[in-house]
Structure 1
Amino acid sequence: MPATDPTTSARMSVQRRRDTKPELALRRELHRRGLRYFVDRAPAKGIRRRADLVFPRRKVAVFVDGCFWHCCPQHATFPKNNAQWWADKLAANVVRDRDTDVRLGELGWTVIRIWEHEDPLTAADRVQNALTSP
């Protein structure tokens, strides 16, 4: 059974995977602070996951998670059409996120997860703190 009707499917297919407004706001702020990073990059070999921002020398991976796709505790919504399919899909996204966190952590990486609704200045503070802590 398809996930959605053709109209919804077309709308979902144009959702940005990178360069979202929250991600760009965070990148601008980090760049303003003099921090340099890689964009949309796999942090470690052998893990087929891409982080939104990667600081390879400090082993910090930053993910800017969308509230819908990653089930934000404050703003998550669940479609009524094909509800079970969407529930399974979104739950799998969360499981994959936790797996990514664990796998990168085992390789010595610090993973920072930022919700799309977070203030970019506060989010940049979290990233900067992770980069400067020993």
Structure 2
Amino acid sequence: MEPKALPGPASERMSKQRSRDTGPERLIRSALHRRGLRYFVHRRPLPEVRREADVVFPRLRVAIFVDGCFWHGCPEHGTKPRRNAEYWETKIARNRARDADTDARLEAAGWTPVRIWEHEEPDEAAAHIEQLIRTRARYLANPKHADI
């Protein structure tokens, strides 16, 4: 039997957390846009899989996920609630397993998934993404001579 969330102030706070267009997502999107990159927001890279990426470059087959430290179990900043700990451990473990499954499905379909933690510096994350995007674009333009 799976543990259930308990009602209370913490549960109420958690239910109000945004699941899209979070602050870290918007900062990374702004940094990407300033670098001249254009993308889609909150799209399913694989239509048959009910999971959305936060930023998608469909032509280049790159899907960006901005993962929250709490919700995705960041090894540096993830916290473990004391109240209803079993529920939250199970929930975060399921999230991590789903993330791994999503990455595996994307890779099997020829996509490159990129995971960014919410605590990462947006300009550094955008620089990493830009380098990947420009490399993939060069490869698609001339697959014989690109060094990917």
TM-score by length of 1: 0.96
Structure 2 unaligned residues grouped into runs of 5+:
140-148
Moved more, 41-50 or 101-110: 41-50
Specify the alignment match of 2:48 in structure 1: 46
Deviations 1:4-55 (A, max 9, x none): 3332222111101111111111111111111111111111111111000000
Does the 8 Å CA contact 1:40/1:52 hold for their aligned counterparts?
A: yes
Specify the alignment match of 2:113 in structure 1: 111
Specify the alignment match of 2:134 in structure 1: 132
| Alpha-carbon offset, residue 2 of structure 1 | 3.5
RMSD value, Cα: 1.0
Deviations 1:95-126 (A, max 9, x none): 00000000000000000000000001110011
Please list, as runs of the form range in 1=range in 2, the aligned pairs for 1:35-74 lying within 5 A after superposition. Answer: 35-74=37-76
| Structure 2: distance between partners of 1:81 and 1:7 | 11
In the alignment, is residue 95 of structure 1 matched against residue 100 of structure 2?
A: no
In the alignment, is residue 34 of structure 1 matched against residue 36 of structure 2?
A: yes
| Structure 1: distance between partners of 2:87 and 2:4 | 9
Query: Could you tell me the percent identity over the aligned residues?
Result: 54
Structure 1 unaligned residues grouped into runs of 5+:
none
TM-score by length of 2: 0.87
| Alpha-carbon offset, residue 129 of structure 1 | 1.4
Aligned AA (1:44): L
Does the 8 Å CA contact 1:110/1:130 hold for their aligned counterparts?
A: no
Deviations 1:61-99 (A, max 9, x none): 000000000000100111111111111110000000000
2:22 maps to which of 6, 15, 20: 20
